Amino acid sequence: MSFVGKSAGITFVFASTALFSPVSSAQSTAPNPYPGGFVIAKSRFNNGAMRGQVRRAALGWRVQLPNGRWVYCRRSCSETLRVETIDFFESNAAGSGQLTNECGIFGCLDLKYPH
């Protein structure tokens, strides 16, 4: 290999790192949806509130339960923490799953039928 071939390879390496460095720096400065690494879950049934640690995992965000177990966040980490801990017995009626007990993008909508 001649000197020209080596210099062309070095030029390619420098050019490729210059092209991809803004992309990697943009990913590291992306806003964190959970500042401080914690979320607060407030009960819908006057059971109080709870704080849980949040971290990014390979498949999404995870929240830590009081027993130390990490679970993946579903709609939001605070709602997952609420349903899994402080409102566990109120929201887990027979036939309803965990995801159906979480409040959606419009908040907690309760349907009340007159008797």
Q: What pLDDT is recorded for position 63? A: 96
Positions in the chain short of pLDDT 70: 1-30, 91-100, 105, 107, 109-111, 115
* Domain spans of the chain, in order of start: 1-30, 35-101
Q: What pLDDT is recorded for position 23? A: 47
Please report which helix (H) or strand (E) contains residue 17, including its range. helix 3-28
Q: What pLDDT is recorded for position 65? A: 95
Which amino acid is present at 13? V
Burial string for 51-88 (b: 16+ CB within 10 Å, else e) reads ebbbeeeeeebbbbeeeeeeeebbebbbbbbbbbbbbe
Q: What pLDDT is recorded for position 32? A: 79
Q: What pLDDT is recorded for position 77? A: 93
Report the C-alpha gap between 37 and 25 in whole angstroms: 21
Report the C-alpha gap between 50 and 62 in whole angstroms: 15
Q: What pLDDT is recorded for position 60? A: 93
Report the C-alpha gap between 31 and 16 in whole angstroms: 26
Note the pTM of the prediction, 2 decimals.
0.63
